[in-house]
Structure 1
Amino acid sequence: MEFPVEVALAELVSVLPTTPGWWYEVKLDGHRTVMWRTADGVRLQARSGRDVTAKWLDIALPGMELPPGVVLDGEAAVVVDERISFEAAQSRAASTPARARQLAEEHPALFVVWDVLALPSGDVRGRPYVDRRAMMLDVLSGLASPSRIQAVSATDDLSVAHAWYNSLQDTGVEGVVAKLGTSPYRPGRSSSWKKVRHAETVDAGLVGYTGPAQRPRALVVRLPDGRLRLTRAIGARLAAQVAAQLAESGSGRATRLGTGETYTAVEVSRLVEVLAGTTRHATVTVTRLR
């Protein structure tokens, strides 16, 4: 297996599957991260494939306790005032390495693991979920306790999954993910992984913006069905995060939407979440940068 790896993604559904054979995991509101324990260190990969090791050194360092050859998939999460804070994780991911170290001192991160992709013996993505989870728990049992690397909570009891969904939202739990116990780890989106969120959103590609690159006013996104849509005006925090991405992407080009609005088109390998209920309108509402 070579760095980076294409991650598995869950299909967004409105209700959890109830047929036998499904397992359920708590879905945390953090940053998707893959941890690679190499022969001489640890590398961290974002969902996009970017190397983000410098942003999350506080979880990379305890990863050195893992056996070389282990690759783990999970979520980098930051707890603020006893609540998982996506905003804090987003600030960390968008910061410089020096600023990331300062943020780590204020609010250390956790790496919450839900899958193992490789062991020292080789690639295990083709094994069933229940086997991979047992392997993952075995690997994590060798870490010092307490550790900043932890296993996600999982159950095959639907009533427990419903209790998690209904009671944990105030702690920063975003929802519940259901995984078929027999399913292998498949890159890309798969119907054998399903997720239910408290806020129904869809992922859209970031393809452009209006206003200055240093403070974009609105975004242009590509929806899953291929339509381009202008978003509503974005707030200052999101604008600053997008501006940091635009600074890395280089200059764009002026163009127009089919509805006539002018915007600057860019090539950025990032997604944004938009409210699902707004996608049928001319403008959509962005909830956050992925």
Structure 2
Amino acid sequence: MRVALAAAVRSLPRGPGLAYEPKFDGHRLVVLRTAAGVVLQARSGRIVTSAFPDLAAAAGRLPPGTTLDGEVVVWHAGRTDFALVQRRAAATPARAATLATSLPASYAAFDVLELAGLDVRARPYERRRALLVDLLLPLGPPLQPVPMTTDPELAETWFETLPASGIEGLVIKRLDQPYPAGRRAWRKLRHTDVRDAAVIGYTGTARRPQALVLILPGAEEDPPAVSSPLSPQLRAETARALAARREEGAATEVAEVAEPAEVATATAIGLGEVTYTPLEPPLPAEVRATATRHPPPEVLRLRTDP
């Protein structure tokens, strides 16, 4: 199931026929309720049903032949917590049942693609939205439609106030738009300090990476930037991503990251020239970075899945 994608914009689009939704900070998840049961699919296509038994059980109440697109989130202390979603997604089947109780997941659905065996992707978003609300409101949590408004003033208020709840920004859709599978036909407005970047290398070793070497958007002609030191969780996550690449044989160069022969240099703020191991192809990451290099960019997460 190819999902719709969104292109980044720098200001809030306005005009007739637009809808605005909060962008939740979670894992993209397609819910497929088949005649045989429930399948949960990540954006990458990986099946993650066993990691979210609570959502799978809830989705069993959907009519067979129903497919939803949305985001799985975990709420903690009044806000969504991406690290806890990562923890849920990485759980073994045995551990997943325990985490489903201690860290229950919620599903923020923003589209319905199939309903009771009928493919509705060609219908306009406005109609699909009505079908989604009618489907989920009687069921209640943990399956819920995301909020939506056609009022740009309210959307702007959401953009300014909802980050305290863990909301990344807004997704903007046309009311007359069919579901754009595999295309960046939606638009997303993120808070300006959070950007996507390309990880082209790392310092330290493949088993204990210390920082990531980045190409920031809009700075492709500039020298690479070295991130601030990775948190213990991000070090472990990066090490797992590098190990997975070795195992999958994604590229000849990547297969050698454990004992690299090739090194390069980059300038790290406060440290000067540092050596790093190049990574090809790059890994996508989300970073917090200012328009300048002071302070150095902070890696928030790798985008290895959703």
Same fold (TM over 0.5): yes
Report deviation, 1:156: 0.7
Give the structure 2 partner of residue 263 of structure 1.
Answer: 277
Check 1:168–1:201 CA distance in 2 against 1; reply closer, same or farther (3 A cut): closer
1:272 counterpart (272, 285, 289):
285
Alpha-carbon separation, structure 2, partners of 1:208 and 1:68: 45
In the other structure, the counterpart of 1:140 is 136
Q: What corresponds to 2:158 in structure 1? A: 164
Contact 2:3/2:182 (8 A) holds in 1: yes
In the alignment, what sits opposite 2:82?
A: 86
SS of corresponding position for 2:209:
coil
Secondary structure of the 2:72 match is strand
Residues 242-281 of structure 1: per-residue CA shift (max 9 Å, x gap): 222333332434344586944153668x631134646999
1:72 is displaced (CA, Å) by 0.6
Q: Equivalent residue for 2:146?
A: 152
Contact 2:64–2:117 (8 Å) recurs in 1: no
Of 210, 218, 221 in structure 1, the residue corresponding to residue 211 of structure 2 is 218
| Change beyond 3 A, Cα 1:186–1:277 | farther
**Are 1:178 and 2:178 an aligned pair?**
no
* Bigger mean CA offset, 9-18 vs 195-204: 195-204
Q: CA offsets, 1:10-38, max 9 Å, x none?
A: 22222211111100111111111111112
Give the % identical residues. 43
SS, match of residue 155 in structure 1? coil
SS at the partner of 2:41?
Answer: strand
Aligned-pair Cα RMSD in Å: 2.9
1:209 Cα deviation after fit:
3.3
Structure 2 residue matching 1:65: 3-state secondary structure: coil
Q: Which amino acid aligns with 1:271?
A: P
Q: Which secondary structure does the structure 1 equivalent of 2:50 belong to?
A: helix
Equivalent pairs, count = 281
1:121 positional shift: 3.3
CA drift at 1:214: 2.5
How far apart, CA to CA, are the structure 2 residues paired with 1:123 and 1:116? Answer: 9
Q: Secondary structure at the match of 2:238?
A: helix
Change (3 A) 1:49 1:155: same
| TM-score normalised by structure 2 residue count | 0.80
Alpha-carbon separation, structure 2, partners of 1:217 and 1:236: 9
Normalised TM-score (structure 1): 0.84
Partner of residue 59 from structure 1, selected from 38, 41, 55: 55
Structure 1 residues 279 and 289, CA gap change in structure 2 (3 angstroms): farther
Within the candidate set 187, 191, 197, 2:181 is matched to 187
For structure 1, which segment, 249-258 or 172-181, has the greater mean C-alpha deviation from structure 2 after superposition?
249-258
Asked if structure 2 preserves the Cα contact closer than 8 Å seen for 1:208 and 1:220, the reply is yes
Name the CA distance, whole Å, in 1 between partners of 2:121 and 2:107. Answer: 20
State the match for 1:109 in structure 2. 105
Alignment partners' CA distance in 2, 1:96 and 1:206? 28
Deviation at 1:132, TM superposition (A): 1.2
Which of structures 1 and 2 has the bigger CA Rg?
2
